[in-house]
A and B are shown apart, each in its own frame.
Chain A
């Protein structure tokens, strides 16, 4: 089998493993199967990436050539994202075992099955070259994510999951309407074909409406301000393992679809005739400021990080509103880097929840003495969110500011910097509680968490610093991907 034959299995492995996983009894077996499937997927993705950078890989399902069949089309952009999703899953699953044992004590088979479905859905969205197929995988991953969120320990998680379901379904429906309109106008669902045929019919209201529906639908999915209301609750009330994974990947995949639709399918010219720039710039900018300020006075750490995620999506929106290779590269690199830092932060908070059963900010008081390594990891990942040099976050900020300066967009520069400073405040709030405030007298003696939770966390911390120094993979591939999207590269 060639690499091309293997490539679809990065989606199929978790998809096939999911139903089997649901039937497996006990705790170890479902986990082991899930890990095997995910690891296989990651290995395939790792091999696909260098090949896809050279030349886009195309795979026609069932040997039906497009536009009749569904085509997978993998270039630098989605290969990077696929590697990110599968690698995050590989790092997260060993961490999840302990956390899930505590938070989801029973029926773990279905839980891991749902996780595999969510992951397969995300991988599928990423790799497919068919606009309708995107919708199918979007629903697979969304439905399973709603169920994963509902696995949380308190009743609020049911409410949050329901809210997520309503908003997510709205988003998917809007996307579907948009695709439907495009199909009526062009007669195809294959992205490459769409890209060829849309210019002929670009000057019609139907295509403009399709653009609007798709943007709003995806805006809901990626939690673009002000469509973000579902996100904080979903992140805060989901089981920690779910939060780590979806925070690192789910909204990022929606950003990817957005980029693909806007730049590959509709094309830069069409987008610039629509108020694409203005909308994303404005919403991104307001989102950064609003969400960062909101993060400051949240009662719990997970909610705080959730609002921080909304702010980070604002950075990405701001970056892709610049419509330049440097801007898109900054957005793509932040998708990658943000997964590393937010994954690490949610893992650190998850470890605190594992020990303490709470993530209220005041419960962090004096925690640095009982859990020094967890809190150190939290602070280091926090530095990456702030964008301190030598961290991955610094590279993101640098790339974004540089792109903004090159476009002469000084407002963007100011907003990015103000956002960083607000991050100092919300990260500093927890750091101050953990390091400078005395522990409450009545807290039972707790110790550091074991290696099962610690090692994956520190792998991500190490990655945060590694990708802050060696950016050939992240920034290099992101730049390549941006060239592909802008149509200036291979």
Chain B
């Protein structure tokens, strides 16, 4: 299929799906079939993009030109390809999981839930394929707005409060910092196209560039670099599949993906190395890694703990991107995928535990491994990946990032990674240990076993993926390495 059509297809398929879903509310089985078919076709379309992008023909498309010289344009490069594949594959898995979760929980308003989910995925596709900052910003905001109804799904006071923080932080950062950064870039560079090697070299004073970089890093609130992280724990009022796909993969990865693209294609590694104060942003990301891990240590709600773990892991990626070493850039891209598989598994497990037993707190998990062995084994795999233990995906990315830190002899990054590994182990390992090797306190209020089978299937799949990625990460690393060569 021709690449232009593919791009339109990737944007339009979820939207068409959303439209059909909204009309099929009266027939739940038909509605869920539409979701699954849409997700499957989206993944199918995404795989078609591999060949043109990897083999150099490229895929780009200009849709409109709203401002003179500023286009709504798409240009899929390797990093975007990986994000597209990741989001579409995991949407399919999450859709299966959603069916089990929403029905198992007897949730109201399922039709808008599935419809907005699809719109959000379309936003993620747009972010992944955007050819310039303006286009990226448009879909970034689509993603923010379309996930608000999902976060506030429960429509009670807690959901309203969470929704307010969610919208407030994400819109305040994107409109208040990210947008002026884009316009500033455009004023000085005359373009916002993602260009290998960057567009800012010799066009902006290094000191001003430092401010601009700060605007980008803090303005891209979806990357949850402290102090812009508050929206992510707030988003945990959403149903768990939303937390799993959107707030562990699509939305947050859109954030770190954007930062990585800004670093590589707007600033360019060589130019950024000359920007003063750049290392302070490295410190900020490093601080976020450690601080979020410490906060996670103290959480009692499973989902909130996972949210803080996500904040910490996202800053791994920001940190890796800002280290400015080739290996670390590869590590950043690999970690986008590696963290996605591990964290979605953990959220799937949290949701499965909730549906089966209505338990939401860390201290309620004693002995639950015997009732839900599949779930808790998957949880253990996800947790090991967060810590970065082989044979899980987290090890691979950590390897590259640390290798990158050695390349540029940045020992701060090294120290951050060692401390964070210890902290991650400190909050994950006790849970795993207690769930398998401690007896239950008392008989639970309801007798339960595993959650409904679609949920177990989904979490088994992603847990399997976490291990498989450890073994078969070659193609992704290779694609990224080639991208960096081009960017040089």
Contact = CB atoms under 8 A, between A and B. Distances in A.
Note whether A and B form a binding pair.
yes
Interface of A: 383, 386-390, 395, 397-399, 401-402, 405-406, 413, 417-418, 420-421, 424, 428, 432, 435-438, 468-471, 475
Contacts of A475: 67-68
B70 to A, nearest CB: 8
Contact of B186 (A383, A397, A402, A413): A402
Q: Which of A386, A401, A406, A413 has the most CB of B within 10 A?
A: A401
Contacts of A420: 175-176
Nearest to A400: B183
Given A383-B145, A398-B67, A432 B176 contact: no
Interface stretch (B35-43, B47-55, B133-141, B376-384): B133-141
Contacts of B159: 436
Q: Which of A395, A417, A436, A470 has the most CB of B within 10 A?
A: A436
12 contacts: A389-B138, A395-B66, A395-B67, A406-B187, A417-B176, A418-B176, A435-B149, A437-B155, A468-B66, A469-B72, A470-B64, A471-B66
B193 to A, nearest CB: 17
Interface string B154-173: 01000110011001100110
A420 B168 CA distance: 12
Contact of A432 (B72, B163, B180): B163
Contacts of B138: 389-390
A430 to B, nearest CB: 13
A395 B68 CA distance: 11
B99 to A, nearest CB: 25
A386 B164 CA distance: 16
Contact of B167 (A390, A424, A438, A471): A424
Contacts of B163: 432, 436
B180 A417 contact: yes
Contacts of B412: none
A386 B72 contact: no
Interface in B43-82: 64, 66-68, 72
B84 interface: no
Given A388-B141, A389-B137, A417 B175 contact: yes
Contacts of A406: 187
Interface string B181-199: 0011011000000000000
For the complex of A and B, the 9 pairs showing the least CB-CB separation, nearest first, are: A389-B138, A417-B176, A405-B187, A401-B183, A436-B155, A469-B64, A420-B175, A436-B160, A469-B66
B384 to A, nearest CB: 39
A145 to B, nearest CB: 34
Interface residues of B, number: 29
Contacts of A383: 145
A389 B163 CA distance: 21
B176 A424 contact: no
Contacts of B175: 386-387, 417, 420-421, 424
B6 interface: no
Contact of A389 (B134, B164, B184): B134
Nearest to B155: A436
B133 to A, nearest CB: 11
B145 A388 contact: yes
B160 A432 contact: yes
Given A398-B183, A402-B186, A435-B152, 8 more contacts: A387-B175, A389-B141, A395-B66, A401-B179, A402-B183, A405-B187, A417-B180, A418-B176
A390 B160 CA distance: 26
B160 A402 contact: no
Contacts of A424: 167-168, 171-172, 175
Contacts of A417: 175-176, 179-180
A470 B66 contact: yes
Contacts of B141: 388-389
Contacts of B72: 469
A334 to B, nearest CB: 14
B184 A405 contact: yes
A118 B104 CA distance: 61
A469 B141 CA distance: 15
B191 to A, nearest CB: 14
Contacts of B160: 432, 436-437
Contacts of B67: 395, 398-399, 471, 475
Nearest to B64: A469
Contacts of A436: 152, 155, 159-160, 163
Nearest to B175: A420
B183 A405 contact: yes
A299 B64 CA distance: 41
Given A389-B138, A405-B183, A421 B172 contact: yes
Contact of A421 (B68, B145, B176, B183): B176
Contacts of B66: 395, 468-471
A418 B180 CA distance: 12
B461 to A, nearest CB: 34
Contacts of B171: 386, 421, 424
